[in-house]
Amino acid sequence: MRFCITAFLLSMFCLNAVRAEEKEAPAGAKSRKFQFTYTAILDTIPEGAKSVDLWIPIPQDNPHQTITNLTFKSDPAPDIGLEPELNNRIAHWKFNAAQAKGKSVTMIFDCVRKEISAKDLDKARDLTGDEKKLLDKWLQANNLVLVGGDFVKVADAATKGATKPNEIAKAAYDYTITNMKYDKPADKPGWGKGSTQWACDMKFGNCTDFHALVMSIGRTKGVPVKFELGALIPTDKKEGPVPSYHCWAKFYLGGVGWVPVDAAEAATHPTMATYYYGNLTADRVQFTNGRDVNLVPKQAEGPLPFFGIPYGEADGKKIPVSRAFAFKDLDK
């Protein structure tokens, strides 16, 4: 009898965890349907290498996107795994190094992406004790995302005494877009690693640096923040190249759920700053979740800060992998 009660309580805990993780903001009025082509090229193989591993992310269905017609153009076909901690789906190839140079793999899929539009943010409440336990991983530090310690002074200054969850989230967002410049200068390397310290010291970077700062402020002040990475789909044409990856963040507000923000897009499009707190356009696709990402099978060189572009290793050592992204609108 005791076993049955324990099993029941455990099942209820897991169910509540799923509900907390899945409580996404509702869809907005807009959507977009497109085909996405993701290509990775192994063009730099070290002399004397014996074997090469290659990984790319596989997008998944979620409340705001539906993935169909997913195919791979590769020889051999990939092994596909699911990383359980962050729920990332990953394609993996292992090649003989002698045959790997110049090898390319391509993933093609159709995506219907919905706008996200959070509601009733002013009704947000503090997390319950159970919610804090369920969402604990989104309150903790990552390798390059600071939480607590010396960063408390920065978080306090950024939020200026805000105590309500929605006030803290909005203050973190506003502070980031006010104090950071979106810039990727070739002569000033170091940006693009998703580092809170870099964001605080240099005050410029790409989307990963912006959202590292957002995460650090929110988490330090007790508001869970998660990280999502994918790509932005151009809006000025119907097909063509997609320049690179793109990321955004989501705050979890008690009684409301996950509230999206895109501080990098707000900084580059100031007239959209109000919109990008609580809303995301449909012009994107999500590939992966989280920071400190382990692959399947696990890579040799330790967790990746984030995972969106292809990753490769030769005999367990990281190697550069070229990439090309492209899209084609499918809306009639």
Per DSSP, the residues of 239-290 read EEEE-S-EEEEEEEEBTTEEEEE-HHHHHHSGGGTTTTBTEE-SSEEEEEE-
Domains of the chain: 28-114+293-329 (2.60.40.2250), 117-288 (3.10.620.30)
Q: What's the Cα-to-Cα distance from 149 to each of 49, 194, 217, 270, rounded to whole Å? A: 43, 19, 12, 32
* Strand-pair category, 204-205 with 181-182: parallel
For residue 191, the surrounding DSSP H or E stretch is strand 189-192
The DSSP symbol for 123 reads G
- What are the tens digits of pLDDT across the range 32-45? 999 999 999 999 99
DSSP symbol at 291: S
User: Quick check: pTM over 0.85?
Assistant: yes
Say what the pLDDT of residue 161 is. Answer: 86
Give residue 331's pLDDT. Answer: 84
Question: Is residue 94 scored above 60 in pLDDT?
Answer: yes
Angle (deg, nearest 10), helices 207-220 and 165-179: 150
- R_g (Cα) of the chain, nearest Å: 20
Both structure tokens of 236: 């000025």
CA distance 250 to 103: 37
Is the Cβ–Cβ distance between 283 and 235 less than 8 Å?
Answer: yes
pLDDT of residue 206 exceeding 90: yes
For residue 68, the surrounding DSSP H or E stretch is strand 65-73
Per-residue pLDDT tens over the stretch 318-327: 999 999 999 9
pLDDT of 101-121, one tens digit each? 999 999 999 999 999 999 999
Per residue in 281-324, pLDDT (tens digit) is 999 999 999 999 999 999 999 999 999 999 999 999 999 999 99
